[in-house]
Structure 1
Amino acid sequence: MKLLHLVLVLQTVPIWFFRSCTVVVHAIQEDPPVSSPSPSPSPISLISTSMAAFSPGVESEMGIKDHYQHGDLHRKKILLLIVTCCILAGISLLSLFLCFIYYKKSSQKKKDTRSSDVEKGLSLASFLGKFSALKMVSNRGSVSLIEYKILEKGTNNFGDDRLLGKGGFGRVYKAVMEDDSSVAVKKLDCTTDDAQREFENEVDLLSKFHHPNIISIVGFSVHEETGFIIYELMPNGCLEDLLHGPSRGSSLNWHLRLKIALDTARGLEYLHEFCKPVVIHRDLKSSNILLDANFNAKLSDFGLAVADSSYNKNKLKLSGTVGYVAPEYMLDGELTDKSDVYAFGVVLLELLLGRRPVEKLTPVHCQSLVTWAMPQLTNRAVLPTIVDPVIRDSVDEKYLFQVAAVAVLCIQPEPSYRPLITDVVHSLIPLVPLELGGTLRVPQPTTPGGHRQAEKLFLDGAASA
């Protein structure tokens, strides 16, 4: 529309200018020169002629005087018309110049707005002063920007009495909001570029996720060089603390552990199968699996997660936690959804065996859980003896080897041998009681021979892999 308006102005201004010039020309033509003969003598000229007969010198003197007077008047008219034309031309040029300036400014403003919108749509690319993208997410209604003073008051000035946990990512505090609801607040030091990117990445991704097995984001905040992410509160904390903390997994029986494994697999299935593009968590581990009051498991900490379409092997920094990182990613930088499947297999071993993914045997020697457990998982005589002592007596041995076989397939060194996470979900659903989200009815009516045959099929599959 701006360009069309400029064209119309350019078309109309010259017409107006030339019309004015035409009027000027006509005005000049309507004032004939003094020497032009008159077609018919007027009464005044007749009188002048008759008077000339009595005064011979008068005619010559008056003719010369009239000639100069008419010449001066003619020159003044021409000069006036030239000045008028110049003024009209100046006005026309000034109008064109102003229209050009207006068009350029309008175009630049529109271009800047369009560029800003593109940048906001692509990613959360800025922090603090460059905060427009995060505000854009808030404006969509997906996540709220919460004032820092509210968090400061809700956490008792981030006092130790409100501390829920801490790690390399930062500290997590319990906060009571103004509506008396309780939330968890993760406090992140964002002084480095990597920390800023992780903070923005997690806020961006969590604002888009909607799944019962992925943590829900309540809001975010920024104060100076610190970022805050506010989540729903998970009363039972993280899986790592329950398994390896003071209770040593005593609150988790066999069926609850299978439920947690199934919930975790369902969360990964959402990322791998239902998100477009595919999202790879890249840091799945027991400390990033949180449990609500009913022991429903939810994935958290998406700072290192990547969308498959934006993954660039040459630019992506190797990240993860020792013991959970897939060998192909650690050695070659090859990252796929099967990397998450490997990490899930390690978590499944933790649930089954009650051991950490890496254990320190001596100050200079560590042992990998995968390396230690792999040769024993398919040994029917040995497997029951290495199960976590807390659940050893309550394990339903009819399904023990099935769970072990799933774990073996997930931690295969070759990625192509690992199952899709959807296949893992389908394998675990029949092992989880109906009231815990599976399809298992306790007791399940089946023959002992059927159990043994199912166990043999899983073991044969693991051995062939």
Structure 2
Amino acid sequence: MAKKSSVSILCFLIIIFSAISVSAQTCDETAGNFKPDSPYDMNRRLINFTLASNVTDHNGYFYGWTGLYPDIVYAVGMCSPGAGPEACSQCIQDTSDSLLKSCPNQTDSFTWLGEEFLCLVHYSRKPFSGVLILEPSNVLFNSMDIAKENQKEFDSVWDVLMSRTIKSLARNNLSTSSLSFSNSKYYANDTAPVPDFRNIWVLMQCTPDVSSEDCKLCLEKSVDYYKELHHGKSGGIVRRPSCFLRWELYTFSGVFDHIRMPTPSSPPQPSPWPSKTPFVVTNMPKKDTSLSGGIITAIVIVIFFFIIISIAIVVAVFKRKRNQKIELPTESVQFDLKTIEAATSNFSASNKLGQGGFGEVYKGMLMNGTEVAVKRLSKTSGQGEVEFKNEVVVVAKLQHRNLVRLLGFSLQGEEKLLVYEFVPNKSLDYFLFDPKKRTQLDWTMRRNIIDGITRGILYLHQDSRLKIIHRDLKASNILLDADMNPKIADFGMARIFGMEETVANTKRVVGTFGYMPPEYVTHGQFSTKSDVYSFGVLILEIISGKKNSSFYQMEGLVNNLVTYVWRLWEKKSLHELIDPIIREESERDEVIRHIHIGLLCVQENSAERPTMSRIHQMLTTSSIALDVPSPPGFLFRKGPGSNPAQRLEPGEPTSMSFACSLDEATITDVTPR
């Protein structure tokens, strides 16, 4: 009895140890290598940084590429059904990071990972979408054997199950069709009972880009390969770039939870197969019952201490990573200047889209057909290099559907260029402040624009890896895509906050008058509430269809949009603010609620302004009661002929800025520190 107990403990410990030691990455040594910090290396790191968000943005499957020949990196990321967006994103990011470390200089590599669900990451120098790829392959198997007296019966059930699952998968007869997230094409799981023994569980998946016939071929080859090399084993995995196969004698994935097996008519007999057995690459020695108790005890002790040491190392590494300061890569795709010149026809006037805060913007087309927007830093500007570097560092770390995506940069001589995705419908101010074009913006579209801007700022403040303060939110920095969805742009003035930081001070006040809160201009103090103030001004502009500056000297009073709306609030006449274009067709109560929220955002005391998460709740949940706003803070330029919405550039004398109370008789001149 003692001997059997010792043998059981030994097997259990070997199982644990084997599970820890499995490696799953496949690096294709035949496809070629690259040098560290080469253009290919930088492209691979960039696509690695964006892959997780692209996969979740594309419903669980994404195929794309970045860079230019011969350094283009193609990549695919995919999650199986059952993975929610957050879990999918985390799995893709962890898998991608692991793959880059395990295959440090191979141009081609792939892996399938996951226990509760699968995710795939595959990098290559060659395009592979729609191509069946069978090699390289990676095979893992359980070391325990099926009892020989049960082998024939087991094989019969196993063969039928594999054939049935492949047919089901190839015709998309999915058992997981109820799952709403993630790509479910060419995915199937099934189970079959072996009389008087255990159930066999199988999971198969192909990448959705291959044909049904290629998917079937890939899985059939995997089944045949496993039968040929590892027949008689009690479970295994076959990984190929285009397909995945796993079978076990236990449930190994959450996708099986909905399957109900029939209750056996008679009590099950003791199973000749092991319980959850991990994957190993080589056969483990069969247990020898002739071993003495002393030898077994010695083996158990050695393995036990080895496991303890391994676990201690894993825990120490985990704690060290958790305590390390987050450092994200600052590299992006670096384009050659000649490539950008060719894409923009040497920065021709016909390709010019406009002029931003510190440079011109041109439309271009790369050699692969990708349309881009190129921001060109002014050569004669005495400032801008700091903002240029800041924008590269900040935007490379941000991935959200409501933020403009940075594709790369070029830094050569005096030329400093940023390459962005091309957003076809220009900026919000192009439509909003034009009497004719404004008619295209009905209330539904304006509400969607406000909601999108809200989500983008909320991501910057709360959901991104870093807390970002934009500091220059305004209508001209909100771009509109083909579907009129908003994308926040121009991060040259953005500031990265530590996760525990709440307020910071600056001696360089930068931004645009009319959008900046009082505490920023007068004291150089900024926080997430600075962006909230700017967002409040944006809401009021979107609803009124008028610029903040257009109310200056209105009705004989010194005004801006903020103070004008406050006077309407006091007179209970907020409906007068609504753009006549949407006044008739809009939901009046809903529009008035948005104006109310805008006033809460521009309150003079920053502590009283709501956070972006609270604003999002107020905008999306009409049942939430709104607080009564307090008087707003507002700013204007000195002198009757000046423009209160003029952009304040770095180094400009800030003593020309005034903080004003609502009592026109009181004006205090304050110089910011």
Change (3 A) 1:226 1:350: same
One of 384, 395, 413 as aligned partner of 1:206: 395
Q: Deviations over 1:49-74 (max 9, x none)?
A: xxxxxxxxxxxxxxxxxxxxxxxxxx
Counterpart amino acid of residue 395 in structure 2: L
**Where does structure 2 lack aligned partners over 5 or more consecutive residues?**
1-36, 50-331, 633-673
Superposition deviation, residue 368 in structure 1: 1.3
The 1:464/1:285 distance shift into structure 2, 3 A limit, reads: closer
Match in the other structure for 1:323 = 514
Aligned counterpart for 1:376 among listed residues 568, 572, 575: 568
SS in 2 for 1:424: helix
| Structure 1 runs of 4+ with >4 Å offset | 134-139, 190-193, 310-316, 360-366
- CA shift digits 1:104-154 (9 cap, x unpaired): xxxxxxxxxxxxxxxxxxxxxxxxxxxx9x999767325211111121111
Please report how far the alpha carbon of residue 263 of structure 1 lies from its aligned counterpart in structure 2 after TM superposition. 0.7
Q: 2:604 aligns with which of 390, 407, 413?
A: 413
Q: How far did residue 388 of structure 1 move?
A: 1.1
What TM-score, normalized by structure 1, do the two folds share?
0.61
Q: Distance in 2 between matches of 1:276 and 1:197?
A: 22
Change in 2 beyond 3 A, CA 1:181/1:139 = closer
Change (3 A) 1:226 1:402: same
TM-superposed CA distance for 1:386, in Å, is 2.3
Partner residue of 2:579? 388
Distance of aligned partners of 1:415 and 1:463 in 2 relative to their CA distance in 1, 3 Å threshold? closer
Select the residue among 418, 421, 440 that pairs with 1:251.
440
**Matches of 1:299 and 1:314 in 2, distance apart?**
24
Q: How has the CA–CA distance of structure 1 residues 341 and 156 changed in structure 2, closer, same or farther, with 3 Å as cutoff?
A: same
The alpha-carbon distance between structure 1 residues 222 and 349, as it changes in their structure 2 partners (threshold 3 A), is same
Matched, 1:462 2:601: no
1:428 to 616, 619, 624: 619
For the pair 1:140 / 2:39, whether they are aligned, the reply is no
Amino acid at match of 2:461: H
Return the letter of the residue paired with 1:369: L
Of 312, 336, 343, the residue aligned with 2:527 is 336
Task: Please say if 1:284 is aligned against 2:467.
Answer: no
Higher-strand-fraction structure: 2
- Structure 1 residue 333 displacement after superposition: 1.4
Q: How many angstroms apart in 2 are the aligned matches of 1:264 and 1:282?
A: 14
Cα shift at 1:359 = 2.3
Cα distance in 2 for residues equivalent to 1:366 and 1:291: 33
Q: How does 1:158-173 map to 2 (within 5 A)?
A: 158-173=347-362
Quick one: distance in 2 between partners of 1:326 and 1:263?
22
Contact 1:176 1:183 in 2 (8 A): yes
Shift of 1:191: 5.5
Q: Partner of 1:171: helix, strand, or coil?
A: strand
SS of corresponding position for 1:293: coil
For 2:422, the aligned partner's letter is: L
In structure 1, C-alpha distance between the alignment counterparts of 2:445 and 2:428, rounded to whole Å: 12
Query: Could you give the per-residue CA deviations for residues 201-255 of structure 1, whole angstroms, max 9, x where no partner exists?
Result: 1011111111111110111112321211111111111111111135351111101
Q: Secondary structure at the match of 1:146?
A: coil
Distance 1:294 1:136, change over 3 A: same
Task: Give the counterpart letter for 1:150 in structure 2.
Answer: T
Counterparts of 2:495 and 2:577 in 1: how far apart (Å)?
Answer: 36
Mapped contact 1:377–1:404 kept (Cα < 8 A) = no
Contact 1:137 1:204 in 2 (8 A): no
CA distance in 2, matches of 1:150, 1:228: 12
- Quick one: distance in 2 between partners of 1:315 and 1:371? 26
What amino acid does structure 1 have at the position aligned with 2:434?
G
**Cα deviation code 1:361-418 (max 9, x no counterpart):** 57999731111111214654x2222211221111211312211111110010110110
Q: Contact 1:278–1:307 (CA<8 Å) still a contact in 2? A: yes
- Once the 2 structures are TM-superposed, how far is the Cα of residue 167 of structure 1 from its aligned partner? 3.3
Partner of residue 89, structure 1: none
Does residue 1:180 correspond to 2:369, yes or no? yes
Whichever structure has more helix as a proportion of its residues is: 1
Q: Which residue of 2 aligns with 1:399?
A: 590
Where structure 1 has 5 or more consecutive residues not aligned to the other structure, the ranges are: 1-131, 432-453
Secondary structure of 1:158's match?
coil
**CA-based RMSD:** 3.0
**Which amino acid is 1:264 matched to?**
I
- Using the aligned pairs only, state the percent identity: 33
